[in-house]
Amino acid sequence: MNRIRTFFLSLLIVGLILSSCISPGSPGSSEWDRPGWTLVWHDEFEGRSIDLENWTFDIGGSGWGNNERQFYTDRPENARIEEGRLVIEAREEEFLQRDYTSARLKTQGLHAWTYGRIEARMQLPYGMGIWPAFWMLGIDIEQVGWPASGEIDIMEHIGRDATHVYGTVHGPGYSGGGGVGHFTTFPAGSLSDEFHVYAIEWEPDVIRWYVDEQQYFEVTPDLLPGAWVYDHPFFIIINLAVGGNWPGAPDESTIFPQVLLVDYVRVYQQPGQVGETLGRSGTMHLGAIEVEAQDNNDGTWQAIVIITVVDANDDPVEGAQVTGGWVGAIVRGETEGLTDATGTVRLASDPSERQGEVTFCVTNVTRANMTYDKSANERNCDLVEHDSAGDE
């Protein structure tokens, strides 16, 4: 009897030790459990650097259709992992003819979902002209454009309304200032001093918005003045903008740097809902990059970059998202696009009368299930020089 008791007591002790070693963030723990939902994708930001299999960067300072004032970069000064959190930092600094820098991360070309619960735990920045956002766009945006692709704003906050967060949808017939949405309010200081969980639950004919499990808005097809365009895959975007038509410009009261902290991003789905997009696997790199000068009939000129993406066997890769930026005499223009069946994408700078040298550099290439191998590139940039005679 004593031996049996000793044996079972030993088993009990071992079981208690093992159970104490399971971290709160491990799959299967209560933190992850959500009745009726299955966790299908997540980033807890526990690595040493941003996981490029989950995220890619938008690069540029074109205003992003909103007259924003920042230049988005992929520098660690603007986006990094610290103490298990994603840090997106907006800085006041001169950078490529812009007065501010920040970052905009997205899962485009890597992961997308149709329906589900999409949530993030975040602590927001504050101040006039500060505009953090957690949102989604339809993956067909390159083909049909915005707003036909659809946009779901899970959380937006503008610094001048320090107690408000907004949830909105944009589609054909209800976009920009005509988007359909609502807001919820918090005590002063709560949004910037504390973490909150911002989420949507998205089903075929309804999208519901939540903060800390409390629903504050719901939209259905009959509430929209235009088409319901939320029945196809969407990708996630997290960014921190500075200035813009809606939040207004920073003023003397705005303190820099400002930081958006993201503890985690999680995607849950129910049985039968469509998970992340899939594609061919393997590595890819730049097969070629060439910048040319094009003279226009109105006396302006523009730079055209032609980029080819290939796999490890030098075969063309279709559907790769190429992202980069313009530097030099022209700094604005198209900065991203998808490769065609020949593995090629063609991007144009804005027209200009200013003469000089223009460079385009590729900063990232993404495609579902494929890894971008920068080390295989012969070069990441190319340039062209244009003078008043149109010589290259």
Residue 342 inside a domain? The answer is: yes
Q: Which of 219, 245, 269 represents a domain boundary (last residue)?
A: 269
Name the domain count of the chain: 2
How far from the centroid of its chain's Cα atoms is residue 47's Cα? 18
The CATH number covering residue 291 comes to: 2.60.40.10
Residue whose structure tokens are 């730079």: 303
d(CA 231, CA 316): 30
pLDDT for 156 equals: 98
Q: Which two tokens stand for residue 291?
A: 């910048």
Residue 16 inside a domain? The answer is: no
Residue 260 inside a domain? The answer is: yes
Three-state SS string across 310-358, please? EECCCCECCCCEEEEEEEECCCCECCEEECCCCCEEEEEECCECCCEEE
Return the ∠ at Cα 12 (arms to 10 and 14), rounded to 5°.
70
Is-catalytic flag, 194? no
Same structural domain for residues 220 and 72?
Answer: yes
Question: How far is CA 222 from each of CA 180, 226, 246, 344, rounded to the nearest angstrom?
Answer: 12, 9, 27, 41
Domain that holds residue 302: 282-386
Q: Which two tokens stand for residue 332?
A: 């604005």
d(CA 160, CA 162): 6
Catalytic-labelled residue, pool 68, 89, 119, 156: 156
Same structural domain for residues 330 and 204?
Answer: no
Is-catalytic flag, 142? no
Torsional sign, CA 242, 248, 253, 259: negative
Same structural domain for residues 260 and 294?
Answer: no
Summarised one tens digit per residue, pLDDT across range 82-110 is 999 999 999 999 998 899 999 999 999 88
Q: Which of 215, 248, 269 represents a domain boundary (last residue)?
A: 269
Catalytic-labelled residue, pool 68, 119, 151, 276: 151
d(CA 18, CA 170): 49
The CATH number covering residue 44 comes to: 2.60.120.200
Same structural domain for residues 52 and 79?
Answer: yes
pLDDT for 12 equals: 35
Mark the ranges of the chain whose per-residue pLDDT is less than 50: 1-29, 277-279, 390-392
Amino acid in the structure at residue 36: G
pLDDT for 263 equals: 98
**Do residues 227 and 180 make contact, with C-beta atoms less than 8 angstroms apart?**
no
What is the secondary structure of 247-291 as a DSSP string? Answer: T----TT--SSEEEEEEEEEEEE-TT-B-------EEEEEEEEEE
Amino acid in the structure at residue 187: P
d(CA 259, CA 111): 25
Summarised one tens digit per residue, pLDDT across range 180-215 is 999 999 999 999 999 999 999 999 999 999 999 999
Residue 19 inside a domain? The answer is: no
Same structural domain for residues 243 and 296?
Answer: no
pLDDT for 3 equals: 41
Q: Which of 207, 242, 269 represents a domain boundary (last residue)?
A: 269
